[in-house]
Structure 1
Amino acid sequence: MAFACKLLQNFLALFILALTVVCVPGEAAFSRFLKFKSASFPNSKYAVDENWFVQRLDHFNGADSRIWKQRYFVNDRFYKPGGPVFLMIGGEGPANPAWMQYGTWLTYAEKFGALCLLLEHRFYGKSHPTKDLSLESLRFLSSRQALADLAHFRTVTAESRGLTSSKWVAFGGSYPGSLAAWFRLKYPHLIHASVATSAPVYATANFPEYLEVVWRSLAAETPECPLLVKKASDTLIAHLKDPQTYDNVTKDFRLCSKLQIQSDMDSAYLLETLAGSFMDVVQYNEDNRAFEGVVGTNITVKVLCRLMLDSSLGDPYDRFAAVTRLLQDTFSQACTDVQYLHYLQDMSNTSWSGAEAGGGRQWVYQTCTEFGFYQSTDSPNQPFGGFPLPYYLQQCRDIYNLTGSVANAVQQTNEEYGGYDIRTTRIVFPNGSIDPWHALGVTSNITNDLPAVFIKGTAHCANMYPARAEDLPELMLARDQIFLLLQKWLKE
């Protein structure tokens, strides 16, 4: 979900990344996932070993015999002979082995006697198919290649472990949720069913609906909140047009260097980065990333709106700055880097040791060549301004020197997978009403065998996290509903 949020880049090192995004910036909004998607999971008494699978580099060229090793994890402590196989799909960040120890899918696995596997996505984490992240190498990064990886892994693993007659179920959240749905769609002979959580199945270059959901989610807390955010954003935009205010902006938002605006890209990058504070908190509002001793954050929509309504902090602009400083303090960040040039330098580094090799360079490439997902301000029904669609499209040119049409790439993706019009069976689509990504997901039943579970009041991937006493009744009911569907489908 492509977009440039340097705030992620500042906070990213504080977290172990899981699947993913959206559970996922000068990166894509989807990359912003990586910051909140998974907090650090605790140590467990269960050891989780790394395993390696010999994978093909190019599944669509039989003359290409090159191979590489893909990382995966195994949890067999619940497995009973004849039980199903649960395959968790990795996404736009390192696969987190903690998913082999925690999560709702393990509750299901214990009840069904399932073997649990987690396969890391090519080009993320330690799964390096190529020597670098050059444009020549990145041409082997796509959802189609990732699905073929899953298919080959499933086939070989089933044969080697005596699981050819077992029913396989795919799980994923966010982009991996889309992959879970598409895996069942494209390889129905290999995958019996899928749980596609918070899955943006419809590709689109321009995605202003994301910020429209942010507006509604803030307004659900108090109608005045998004209005104040808009006033603050408008004031900030006005300041960016007056060089005499730059020193104040630098101080107010604790920028890492004196503000300089030399182009529209500089302005847009700053505005998107600072808006990311609200976008991230809304997307992951009150989910259960902090559990079992995990260090998380209790910054919620309620907290943000409380600050925005606090007149003792000054005018709405001052309150917006206070929100940024709160997040900086929470994540022990001295300052925020909002220089577009720095972002370009990091994103253009093709080394596996580069600052954006953890996922930023790879994911934004996928948004440029497959998905779009650009969370623009091209709608009057949202609280921010200053980062329109052309800002994101320019990043594709600046970072990768890509000259192709993102619109054409998006069209090809929807032609490949069907967008909202998925034609298969046995996929469930859980989505949260607070999560802005639900705007590109399936929120009402396609058929009885392609049901949606729309969870009022919950955020991105909330149903995937372990249950807790504070969970909304709708979330508890959703987990039970998914269990009953799996129970039904595994009997078929």
Structure 2
Amino acid sequence: MLFAQILCIRHRYYREIETPKTLIKADDSKYFTQRLDHFDNTNQQTFQQKFLVNETWYDKNGGVAILQVGGEGPIQQSDVGNLWSADQFSQSMKALNVELEHRFYGESIPQPLNYTFLSSRQALADLTEFAAYLKKTYGVTKIITYGGSYPGNLAGWARSRFPFVFDAAIASSGPLMGRTKFSEYFQHDEMVLESIQTGCKDKVKTAMEQIEDLLLNDKKQAAILLKNEKLATQELTELDISNIISLLSNFAGMIQYASESQQELKDFCDIMMKSTDLKTDYVTWNFEYSGSDDLGPMFYDEMVEDTKLSSWTWQTCTEFGYFQDSDFFTSRISMDYYYHLCLDAFEPYFTQAGIKTTTELKEFMTQVVDGEMNAFYGARNQPRSKIFYTNGKTDPWSELSMNPEFTWADGQYLPDDSVQRLIPGSHCSDMRTKWSSNKVVRAEQLRKLKEWINYQE
């Protein structure tokens, strides 16, 4: 499902291609009493927010902490282990390595569930409260925020908006610009596939067209191909077809999380170019990539029910957009589909806000996502110092982040003592210690962090 394509650290593909032989283990999970609403002093409700700590390298005399920002998924012990550059930085700076789980994810879900209290602004306030706790409990004096993907946004924004709390930031692969209609995502995928093998993207387009035709004209065969008996008998709506086509877009995740060798991209294009039955080979590949005979909720109504408990979808519907529509691969993955899904999944919240139609939701998102959110966070205009931005060339999310080709005329600004790098790699690849091609940028990040916090060896 494309709503989930932004996930970084805990994505399935990364976990499968590398299983660590050894990990620096964290202490047992800990919990911090966090305010539910930082912007209403009359609301004294709290919830338990999970965090992980690795004190292996920590020297209290130095007082440095690397605060990993949790994102749109549960945190886990390996996050503060040696798979990630945060561990290398902690070792070199004798720092405390700690990660705070994002509110409404993992074990940090306030009860009763009320998405009104889930927003990036509340999450940033969580970080400032937690920073005070770190200083009091662990003797921390300097804090570096660290994150990739959406947490990369938060890491940079934390430093930008609270420079008196956070001393520097590593912001990897963060899509800084809110954008409701994110057509550039699939446009980037087209470019990547074509660079792998000429004609590959056209084969994908043809396969998706053939599957759509099958859904419209031969449901029994579609049921066999997609391993779902209900497809043969249940009437399909336009939204059902859009939903199924969306589920069959795993190539987008493969590109986003391409490995260092990109061998899986080459293998995929090789399959598509040699295929004599595109729709069958393409569907088979999707099942193999997902590692399951179940690609997800096939029918739109099922997807709505599944989405009602999706915290990240709530954030995309109310803050960031990031809706990846496509004019090339298929017209079925459309903005209309996303607007309907948001409205149907979170109907009580939108109804309370006076939003009852997709037209009204579109107007709301245009105002909030494309307007107010970018005005509040600055989009590519980030004047704060001591932030290190990285993006992988293969990563489609780089289209919404810092771009070395952009200038003030494009709405982009960085001060001289912040850094941006477009590197060989994919989504958050510089954070992965086993990506040898990103060693140079990790070394530069470490040098800059030491310089920015005035670290004394």
TM surpasses 0.5? yes
Deviation string, structure 1 residues 366-395 (Cα, Å, up to 9, x no partner): 111100000011x4xx43331111110111
Deviation string, structure 1 residues 402-422 (Cα, Å, up to 9, x no partner): 224121220221111011111
What residue is the counterpart of 2:312 in the other structure?
A: 363
Q: Greater shift after overlay, 476-485 or 315-324?
A: 315-324
Distance 1:307 1:210 in 2: 23
What residue is the counterpart of 1:408 in the other structure?
A: 367
2:442 pairs with 479, 485, 490, which one? 479
Aligned-partner SS, 2:107: coil
Which letter does structure 2 place at the counterpart of 1:303? D
2:207 corresponds to 1:207: no
1:155 pairs with 132, 149, 163, which one? 132
Per-residue deviation at 1:206?
0.4
Per-residue deviation at 1:45?
6.3
2:79 corresponds to 1:99: yes
1:188-203 equivalences under 5 Å are 188-203=163-178
Which letter does structure 2 place at the counterpart of 1:175? Y
Which letter does structure 1 place at the counterpart of 2:368? A
Q: Greater shift after overlay, 107-116 or 401-410?
A: 401-410
Distance verdict in 2 for CA 1:109–1:342, change over 3 Å:
same
* Relative contact order, higher structure (CA 8 A, sep 6+): 1
Per-residue deviation at 1:463?
0.9
Distance 1:255 1:446 in 2: 51
Which letter does structure 2 place at the counterpart of 1:98? S
2:285 corresponds to 1:323: yes
Per-residue deviation at 1:319?
2.8
Aligned-partner SS, 2:117: coil
1:301 pairs with 262, 265, 278, which one? 265
Which letter does structure 1 place at the counterpart of 2:336? P
Distance 1:299 1:249 in 2: 30
2:90 pairs with 109, 112, 124, which one? 109
Which letter does structure 2 place at the counterpart of 1:271? I
Which letter does structure 1 place at the counterpart of 2:274? D
Native 8 Å contact 1:256 1:336 kept in 2: no
Distance 1:256 1:109 in 2: 52
1:175-190 equivalences under 5 Å are 175-190=150-165
What residue is the counterpart of 1:30 in the other structure?
A: none
Distance 2:173 2:335 in 1: 23
Native 8 Å contact 1:234 1:385 kept in 2: no
1:285 pairs with 241, 252, 258, which one? 258
Query: How many pairs does the alignment contain?
Result: 428
Deviation string, structure 1 residues 221-263 (Cα, Å, up to 9, x no partner): 1111111111212222233332xx2222222233363254532
Native 8 Å contact 2:307 2:313 kept in 1: no
1:44-443 equivalences under 5 Å are 44=23, 46-80=25-59, 81-102=61-82, 103-132=84-113, 137-163=114-140, 166-242=141-217, 245-255=218-228, 257-259=230-232, 260-275=234-249, 277-286=250-259, 300-311=264-275, 314-328=276-290, 331-333=291-293, 337-348=297-308, 356=309, 361-377=310-326, 379=327, 382-401=328-347, 402=350, 403=355, 404=361, 405-410=364-369, 411-443=371-403
Distance verdict in 2 for CA 1:318–1:41, change over 3 Å:
closer
Distance verdict in 2 for CA 1:318–1:280, change over 3 Å:
same
Q: Greater shift after overlay, 47-56 or 426-435?
A: 47-56
Native 8 Å contact 1:173 1:197 kept in 2: yes
Native 8 Å contact 1:255 1:337 kept in 2: no
Percent identity over paired residues: 28
Distance 1:249 1:487 in 2: 58
Q: Greater shift after overlay, 219-228 or 245-254?
A: 245-254
Native 8 Å contact 2:26 2:80 kept in 1: no
Structure 1 runs not aligned, ≥5 long: 9-20, 25-32, 289-297, 349-355
Aligned-partner SS, 1:139: helix
Deviation string, structure 1 residues 438-474 (Cα, Å, up to 9, x no partner): 1111132733222211112x11111111225xx33xx
Distance 1:224 1:139 in 2: 46
Per-residue deviation at 1:324?
1.9
Which letter does structure 2 place at the counterpart of 1:74? V
Distance 1:345 1:214 in 2: 29
Distance 2:131 2:24 in 1: 28
What residue is the counterpart of 2:410 in the other structure?
A: none
Which letter does structure 1 place at the counterpart of 2:33? V
Distance 1:145 1:413 in 2: 14
Per-residue deviation at 1:4?
5.3
Task: Name the Cα RMSD after superposition.
Answer: 2.3
Distance 2:368 2:69 in 1: 23
Distance 1:229 1:116 in 2: 43
Aligned-partner SS, 1:491: coil
Native 8 Å contact 1:253 1:324 kept in 2: no
Per-residue deviation at 1:335?
6.1
Per-residue deviation at 1:77?
0.9
Aligned-partner SS, 1:49: coil
Which letter does structure 1 place at the counterpart of 2:130? F
Distance verdict in 2 for CA 1:238–1:217, change over 3 Å:
same
Which letter does structure 1 place at the counterpart of 2:227? R
Task: Report the TM-score, using the length of structure 2 for normalisation.
Answer: 0.88
Aligned-partner SS, 1:194: strand
Aligned-partner SS, 2:440: helix
Distance 1:323 1:417 in 2: 39
Native 8 Å contact 1:271 1:385 kept in 2: no
Per-residue deviation at 1:486?
1.4
Deviation string, structure 1 residues 325-350 (Cα, Å, up to 9, x no partner): 3325xx243665411121122233xx
Per-residue deviation at 1:113?
0.9
Distance verdict in 2 for CA 1:369–1:336, change over 3 Å:
closer
Distance verdict in 2 for CA 1:4–1:76, change over 3 Å:
closer
Distance 2:163 2:23 in 1: 35
Per-residue deviation at 1:92?
0.7
